[in-house]
Every structure is written in structure tokens, then in C-alpha cells.
Amino acid sequence: MSNAPSELTNLTIAQALKGLENKDFTSKELTQAHIDSVEAHDKLNAFVTKTPELALQQADASDKRRASGDAKPLDGIPLAIKDLYCTKGVRTTASSHILENFVPTYESTVSQNLFDDGIVMLGKTSLDEFAMGSSNMTSYFGNVINPWRSTSAPDIELTPGGSSGGSASAVAARMAMGATGTDTGGSIRQPASFCGISGIKPTYGRCSRWGVIAFASSLDQAGPMARTVEDCALMLTSMAGHDPKDSTSADIKVPDFSAALTGDIRGLKVGIPKEYRMDGTPAEIDALWDQGIEWLKESGAEIVDVSLPHTKYALPTYYIIAPAEASSNLARYDGVRYGLRIEGDNLIETYENTRAEGFGDEVKRRIMIGTYVLSAGYYDAYYVKAQRVRRLIAQDFENAYKQCDVILTPTAPSEAFALGQEEEDPIKMYLNDVFTVSVNLAGLPGLSLPTGLSANGLPLGLQIIGKSWDEETVLRVGGVLEKAANFVAMPDSSILKAA
């Protein structure tokens, strides 16, 4: 083997594919290096379930395929799968007590697509319970830790963001080359920003939701998280595609997304929405945004001011629609069909006991809000009104896209915060999604990539929002921004490594 294990875990997916092809190393070696890294970073608590034996078997099979000339597009690449994707025969918990021992008998379409393309699964990554949260603190299996530390308070553990915090932490700490995430209101992009990696939420309907445990069905999308824009493009090409099992999955051809990374954005129009200049955003985030604008200008893009006038209604709208759909989706966890059951004296009591014990506080809060806004007396005042505002938010983007091709914004209103810092105040936690939820409400693609460090030495991301089905332009602009930003900083997780 020509590469030491640490070198193998530092490769991008694109580089590793070349190395495998050139026989510089085997998938088994690449996979073993990542299994070792998962063990070394155990304290970060990124995984709910680790599957090293399965990974080595899959790596072995991959090496055999490659030897016989049958290599698939992602053959032999070790990835982590968010524990919201049902994986056949492998426990899938949604980080909830209620699904603690749930072993699906089926595979989600998106993970199946990845397996069909040859990936190796290292395990299932932790998340906020049922993907509800922005800090990973609501996981039943304990919070995930961000591998990054602030230079001003290096002893304080930071959140990786959420809900895909386990995936983000695993990719940032070089435990996995990439990971799947899901994004209902920002759960791929905000943790990517907090952990210094890239992640894209594709257009609603681009990836099948079948077999991905539902949170809010009209907002949920699967997407990739990786260390480069190109790696995201490679993963998305494999994950996306029409699926007859999901009626909202679109029958649209999946392009080779990595081919979109031409590096040329001359003449492209980049919109800057004035409503995203918000009071209370740290000056360094606005400054990074301005820097991003400069970089794109220098690369030949034209910058135009656009307006998204209904932006201020996005969070309240999201926090009506998402809980409404969640309350309905989570009705299925009744102690009869899935997971946990706490017997009562009768069926109603069994439901009550199971749900009282099985769900955490944040999930209960969402179920209560959702049930309230859907109840007969309040349906028109809240749910119907939120649906109307949602339409206006989508229309804002349609209007903006008459003037521009993509929109550039910050990803999150802060750097990674300390674990537990925002927990007491749910409203403050919800503010994390201020720049991301509109994208879900409008069903658009949005990419976050790391573009700089805060004064505390923590990663900060910028977001590129595209037109529906135009992930290619989003990725193309992302590639240019990535090159200009040249983000090479890495977390120093040595202090976190197990002895």
C-alpha cells in the first residue's frame, strides 16, 4: 500500500476513485482506514450504529468487481448514511427511543441507488430526533460533537449543527468520505456550514423520499454531504432519479452533475437579496458574504440586487407547515406497527404510554403545534394562511429569477455554538434556519460550502440557491466559489481522539 491510512482518509471521493482505478490501494484498505478513523473519533458520537464488518464485506466485493472490470461509478467509496434512511437489515432509529430497535425489511431508494453504484457503508449517523432540530442535541443517543474547536474557548464542545450533525461531524473529522443527509428546513446546509464541509439540498422531487423516515413530506429532501463540491456532485448523480414508489419524485433525467463543474461563470447573473441583510447577523458573516460577492465578480459573474419581500414570513410559515405535516406523519408510531411498545390496560393507554415514553420533548412540541394548527377551529387561521404565504415566498423566487440565475446568501446566522447553549429557548433555536427554510418552502436547490473562518477560527459557509432543476448551475457556481475561497483549514480533533 502506497498511502498511510491518514493519507487515505484525507482524499476526496474523486481522488479516491482515481486511486482505486490506478490500483494505488484497494477499497478494503481505504475502508479499513476509515473504520480506524471512526474508532479514533468515537468521542464525537457521530454514529448511532457502526457497521464495520458489513463495510469490509462490501469493500471486498467492490475490489472483486474492480478486478474483473465491472467497477461501478462510486465503487469502493466508504460513506456514512444518516440514520433516517431505512437500511435493510440494519437498525434504523431516526435517533428516537420509539424506533430504538427498528430493523427495516426494506432499503430506501436513495441508499439503494448508492449501493447499486458500489458504495461501502460505514454505519448510520446520528441526527436530531426525527430530524427536528438544529444542534443534534435532541438525539436519544446523546449529542454529536463538532470536531472543530473555537480558538478563544478550546475546551468547550461545540454543536455540529443539525439535524444531519452526525453526517457532518463524520465527514469533517475524516471518518467518512461523504455522507447522506436530509434537509427539511436546512438540515444539510446548516451542519455543513458549522463543520466546514459542503452539502446540497436538491430540488424537491430530485431524490426519492421512499424509505426515508418522513418528517414533513412536502419539504423533506435527501442530499449529499462531502468535503468538496465535486464530491457532492458525484454523490448526487448517484442518489437522484425518478422512483415510481414516490409520487412526488420527478420523472426528469438526471444529468452527470460533475460535468457541470466547468469553472466558467462568465456572464452569469448572481442575485443578492436585500432582505437577507438582517439585524443581528454577526458582522463577520456579512463581510464573508461581501467577499463571496467579490470573488464571483472577479470570476466574471454579474451581480444584481434582487428582492425577496416575503422573507420575514418564512420562519413562521415553516414552523406551521413542518409541524403540521410532522404531527400527521408521526401518528403511525402507535406501539403496534413499529418499534417501542409500552403496554397499557387498553389500546388507547398503550398508544399514550408508548408515545409519552417514546418521543422526546422537541418531537412532542412539534406534534402539539402541528395538531393545534390543523384543528378545526384554527385550520384556516394558521395552516391555510401558511400555505398561502408559502406560495408568495415561492413567487418571490420566481420573480427574482427573472433577473438572475442563482442567488448568493450566507448559510447560517452564526458559527457553531456551544453544546446546550440554545436549548432552553426553542424560538432562538428556530432562528438558525432563517437563511435556509425559504429554499425548502419554494422547493429549490441550495448548496452550502465553506468559504472562510470566523474570528474564533470556526468555519462559515455561504449558500447558493438555484432555480428548480438547475442544480448544475448551483454546482458550477459552487465550484468557482470553492476555488476562490480555497478553504483548506481542517479541524484539529487530536484532543478528541480516544487514548
Residue 482 CA to residue 106 CA, distance in Å, equals: 37
Strand partners, 461: 450
Residue 334 CA to residue 327 CA, distance in Å, equals: 13
Catalytic residue among 28, 37, 50, 82: 82
Q: Where are the alpha helices (DSSP H) in 47-90?
A: 52-67
Per CB under 6 A, 185 contacts ligand GLN? yes
Dig out the grid coordinates for 410 from the structure: 450566507
Residue 330 CA to residue 136 CA, distance in Å, equals: 19
Q: Which is nearer to ligand GLN, 185 or 452 (CB)?
A: 185
Residue choice 31, 58, 159, 184 for contact with ligand GLN (CB under 6 A): 184
Dig out the grid coordinates for 122 from the structure: 460505514
Residue 76 CA to residue 375 CA, distance in Å, equals: 50
Question: In the complex, what is the shortest distance from the CB of residue 481 to ligand GLN, in angstroms, rounded to a whole number?
Answer: 23
Q: Which is nearer to ligand GLN, 322 or 464 (CB)?
A: 322
**Taking a C-beta distance cutoff of 8 angstroms, is the pair 54, 90 a contact?**
yes
Between residue 109 and residue 138, which ones bind ligand GLN under the rule CB under 6 A? 131-134
Question: In the complex, what is the shortest distance from the CB of residue 462 to ligand GLN, in angstroms, rounded to a whole number?
Answer: 18
Per CB under 6 A, 187 contacts ligand GLN? yes
Per CB under 6 A, 180 contacts ligand GLN? no
Number of residues in the chain: 499
Per CB under 6 A, 147 contacts ligand GLN? no
Phi first, then psi: what are they for 18, rounded to 5°?
Answer: -65, -45
Between residue 193 and residue 222, which ones bind ligand GLN under the rule CB under 6 A? 215
Catalytic residue among 111, 163, 167, 198: 163
Per CB under 6 A, 461 contacts ligand GLN? no
Dig out the grid coordinates for 428 from the structure: 432562538
187 is catalytic: yes
163 is catalytic: yes
Catalytic residue among 134, 139, 187, 448: 187
Q: Which is nearer to ligand GLN, 301 or 314 (CB)?
A: 314
Q: Which is nearer to ligand GLN, 38 or 168 (CB)?
A: 168
**Taking a C-beta distance cutoff of 8 angstroms, is the pair 366, 325 a contact?**
no
Q: How far is CA 446 from the centre of its chain?
A: 11
Q: Which is nearer to ligand GLN, 219 or 265 (CB)?
A: 219
43 is catalytic: no
Question: In the complex, what is the shortest distance from the CB of residue 201 to ligand GLN, in angstroms, rounded to a whole number?
Answer: 8
Q: Where are the alpha helices (DSSP H) in 272-419?
A: 283-298, 314-329, 347-358, 361-374, 385-400
Phi first, then psi: what are they for 273, rounded to 5°?
Answer: -80, 125
**Taking a C-beta distance cutoff of 8 angstroms, is the pair 230, 479 a contact?**
yes
Which has the closest alpha carbon to 419: 85, 116, 59, 145? 145
Per CB under 6 A, 168 contacts ligand GLN? no
Residues near 197 by Cβ (< 8 Å), separated by ≥ 6?
A: 168, 171, 172, 225, 226, 227, 450
Stretch that binds ligand GLN, among 13-21, 147-155, 183-191, 241-249 (CB under 6 A): 183-191
Residues in contact with ligand GLN, shown as a per-residue x/- string from 279 to 318 under the rule CB under 6 A: ----------------------------------------
Per CB under 6 A, 458 contacts ligand GLN? no
Q: How many residues bind ligand GLN (CB under 6 A)?
A: 13
Can you give the binding site for ligand GLN, defined by CB under 6 A?
131-134, 163, 183-187, 215, 322, 433
Which are the catalytic amino acids?
Answer: 82, 163, 187
